[in-house]
Amino acid sequence: MTISVGERVPDVPLFRMGDAGVEAISTATLFAGRMVVLFAVPGAFTPTCSAQHLPGFIEAADALHARGVDEIACLSVNDAFVMEAWGRSAGSSGKVTMLADGNGDFTRALGLEIDARKNGLGMRSRRYSMVVEDGFVTHLNLDEPGAFKISAASHLLEQL
């Protein structure tokens, strides 16, 4: 079942690169007492994700923060090393936190997984953006498979 507006985000560990290497962060900690924009992509370094989705949120970071957003995070069913390298290559430092859901546990818990095995990609996340306030989803923009429209930073800015 797909998560809906008004529901609490499940508490699942995600991973990111820290000073000492890969570190886990629970979603309960990530979202507690804050407004976080979370957007997910099917894969790091993939065409639409690299050319439009991530760059859009990097460019919109200041505007989102001006609307009360405490953190902007990008999630993919990739490992933390890949997410760190992708973020570095895109210039996300200080603007977008790169989060790994390597096993897809969070993605499955949200009901937002897609089967991309026909393209050799395994299980991945659908493309979406959401606003999470103190652990609850207040906005959810879920693109249809293969599309990139309502999950864009520009659409989310219009909602806030």
Q: Is residue 2 part of a domain?
A: no
Q: Is residue 140 part of a domain?
A: yes
Q: Is residue 1 part of a domain?
A: no
The C-alpha atoms of residue 43 and residue 129 are separated, in whole angstroms, by 14
Q: Is residue 146 part of a domain?
A: yes
Per annotation, catalytic residue among 38, 40, 41, 49: 49
pLDDT digits (tens, 9 = 90+) for 12-57: 999 999 999 999 999 999 999 999 999 999 888 877 767 778 999 9
Is 49 tagged catalytic? Answer: yes
Q: Is the Cβ–Cβ distance between 110 and 124 less than 8 Å?
A: no
Q: Is residue 45 part of a domain?
A: yes
Write out the residue range of the structural domain in which residue 94 sits: 13-159
Q: Is residue 72 part of a domain?
A: yes
Instruction: Give per-residue burial for 52-65: e unless 16+ CB within 10 Å, then b.
Output: ebbbbbbebbeebe
Q: How many domains does the chain have?
A: 1
Instruction: Give the CATH number of the domain where residue 21 resides.
Output: 3.40.30.10
pLDDT digits (tens, 9 = 90+) for 111-155: 999 877 777 676 879 999 999 999 999 999 999 888 888 999 999
pLDDT of the residue at 117: 72
Q: Is residue 94 part of a domain?
A: yes
Q: Is residue 4 part of a domain?
A: no
pLDDT digits (tens, 9 = 90+) for 88-118: 999 999 999 999 999 999 999 999 998 777 7
Q: Is the Cβ–Cβ distance between 77 and 125 less than 8 Å?
A: yes
